[in-house]
Amino acid sequence: MYDIIIIGGGAAGLTAAIYALRAGMDTIILEKLGVGGQIVLTEAVENYPGFPFISGPDLMDKFQEHAEKFGARIEYEEVTEIVPGPSSHRVITESKEYEGVAVIVATGSNPRKLGVEGEEKFIGKGVSFCAVCDGPFFRDREVAVIGGGDAAIKEAIYLTQIVKKISVVHRRDKLRAEKILQEQAFDNPKIEFVWDHVVERVNGEDSFESITIRNVHDSKETRLDVGGVFVYIGHIPNTKLVNVKKTGNGLIITDDCMRTSVDGIFAAGDCRNTCLRQIATCVGDGALGAYFAGEYVEHVKSSRT
């Protein structure tokens, strides 16, 4: 049995591992795909202290190296269920079962889809959720970016290095992104803004052809002839595996110490209900989660003696 099982190998999970291991906790990280989480899809990180400019993959490599310095053990397993117990919890994966006194859920989130006709058909064939991954396929072509938050504008700016023109389609008449990102986007001649519009459908028979957008005020539809579309309209938390108190959107509700509604189960990072989702806040969550999970483990162990 482990002291602490961490589910998720992103910024929150790796930070939690560093803190737990330094506290002498027998710890394991269970990661579904690859270490780093959504941050590895980010070309440029400019707001993480100590790194004025670094790529997402490079930053996560440093996180992983740091955790492994203290002996972090990472198993690539997809967790399907957490079964709570009175003094320990069972974590079920597709191939085996783990038991831990405390569990830290740091599963992050997945990109939210548009949910319109033609989207599923052309995912990976014109519809993308990652400019860093797929941008080079659209070199010197015109593309659309959907959204108005940090991710949408950051990735639109990145795409200007690759594509001919970007049409940023946003359902409001102003952006939600950080002011510095807005200024960079407004100053870039390759970026054009299409305000007050949403995507109605993705067009094409055998291959991607265009998108149809709709004005939110008068419902007038317009065909936007682009070679591809990059979608950044939010994320859906990966929290189905755990039965704790959540918001209507599936975000895990915690107290200030990352405790959930079930004793011994903690949550950290983008999967929990928080007012800001950044690398820095994920790191803070991971540190708090590990510290109080460690306290919980010590309490459980002392009560057994």
How far is residue 152 CA from its own chain's centroid?
A: 13
CA dihedral of 272, 104, 90, 239, whole degrees rounded to 10: 20
Q: Characterize the bridge pairing of strands 89-93 and 97-105.
A: antiparallel
Q: Which of 61, 130, 196, 263 is catalytic?
A: 130
130 assigned to active site: yes
Residue partners of 248: CB distance under 8 A and separation at least 6: none
Q: Which of 58, 133, 173, 257 is catalytic?
A: 133
134 assigned to active site: yes
The two structure tokens encoding residue 100: 């831990």
CB atoms within 10 A of CB 255: 11
Residue partners of 188: CB distance under 8 A and separation at least 6: 157, 160
Distance CA 104, CA 18 (A): 13
Angle at 159 between CA 168 and CA 207, to 5 degrees: 75
Q: Which of 3, 58, 61, 134 is catalytic?
A: 134
Residue partners of 256: CB distance under 8 A and separation at least 6: 288
Choose among 109, 115, 185: nearest CA to 150.
185
271 assigned to active site: no
Region of 50 please: left (phi>0), alpha (psi -120 to 50) or beta. Answer: left
Phi, psi of 280 (to 5 degrees): -60, -40
Catalytic residue numbers read 130, 133-134
